[in-house]
């Protein structure tokens, strides 16, 4: 199995990139954590083949690279496997600043997530585990904390939307959406700030978790007292 990626240099400089493959997972707030190739559970990094280890892209050039995945024969497990394909610039030039002893060097790096979903892997759902209100008078912060988990064996991503209704005056508020991505059997929590202009009072909080087509919309509700 193979996929082709296209690289285009719209600039006037030559760019050289080092090709690497790494393992990765996500922590409890969804941030990626990287590790050496083939060292994490559910890694497919050792299945990946590319013909080049160094790539040069000339000014105005379109370059196509083929990434091949050699899936081992037989049983490859029941979980999504994953890795990351990186292109890291290795010929960056030091840029001058107004101070002679200070320079800036900018290196470009691009990453492509690689997944393999085995046939028969448990689909599962992303479900809420807890919804709570937090406030800190010292910092003046008011936040909603949402805990959720992926009970399936596939990597998933989606959005969480929040709606708040003041049960005393009927005003409705929509908070900023949260985007998430979660590993198989992963557990995460996210925090979202409540706007300063939202008045104190009693509210009905609704959170809606949408993992995309083919998954049920998960809904959590809670009555909260918002302070300040």
Q: How confident is the model at residue 101 (pLDDT cuts 50, 70, 90)?
A: low
* 186-228 confidence digits (pLDDT tens): 999 999 999 999 999 999 999 999 999 999 999 999 999 999 9
* 34-74 confidence digits (pLDDT tens): 999 999 999 999 999 999 999 999 999 999 999 999 999 88
φ/ψ of residue 207, rounded to 5: -120, 135
* 136-185 confidence digits (pLDDT tens): 999 999 999 999 999 999 999 999 999 999 999 999 999 999 999 999 99
In the sheet with 187-193, reading across from the earlier edge strand, the strands are: 126-136, 141-150, 187-193
Q: How confident is the model at residue 129 (pLDDT cuts 50, 70, 90)?
A: very high
- Domain architecture of the chain: domains with CATH: 2-116 (2.60.40.10), 126-226 (2.60.40.10)
* 12-40 confidence digits (pLDDT tens): 999 999 999 999 999 999 999 999 999 99
Contact present, 144 and 133 (Cβ < 8 Å)? yes
> CB within 8 A of 122, min separation 6: which ones?
78, 152, 153, 154
pLDDT at 74: 84
């Amino acid at each position: 199995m193979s996929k082709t990626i296209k690289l285009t240099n719209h600039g006037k400089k030559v760019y050289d990139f080092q090709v690497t493959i790494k393992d990765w997972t996500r922590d409890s707030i969804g941030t990626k954590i990287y590790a050496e190739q083939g060292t994490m559970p559910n890694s497919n990094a050792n299945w990946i083949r590319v013909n080049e280890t160094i790539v040069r892209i000339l000014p105005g050039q379109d370059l196509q690279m083929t990434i091949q995945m050699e899936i081992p024969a037989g049983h490859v497990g029941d979980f999504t496997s994953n890795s990351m394909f990186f292109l890291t610039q290795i010929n960056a030039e030091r840029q001058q600043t107004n101070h002679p002893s200070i320079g800036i060097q900018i290196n470009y790096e691009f990453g492509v997530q690689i997944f393999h979903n085995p046939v028969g892997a448990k689909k599962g759902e992303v479900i809420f585990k807890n919804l709570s209100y937090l406030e800190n008078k010292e910092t003046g912060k008011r936040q909603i904390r949402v805990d959720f988990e992926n009970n399936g064996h596939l990597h998933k991503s989606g959005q969480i939307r929040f709606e708040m209704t003041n049960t005393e005056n009927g005003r409705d508020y929509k908070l900023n959406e949260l985007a998430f991505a979660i590993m198989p059997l992963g557990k995460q929590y996210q925090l979202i700030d409540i706007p300063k202009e939202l008045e104190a009072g009693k509210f009905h909080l609704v959170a809606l978790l949408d993992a995309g087509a083919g998954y049920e919309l998960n809904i959590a509700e809670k009555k909260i007292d918002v302070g300040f």
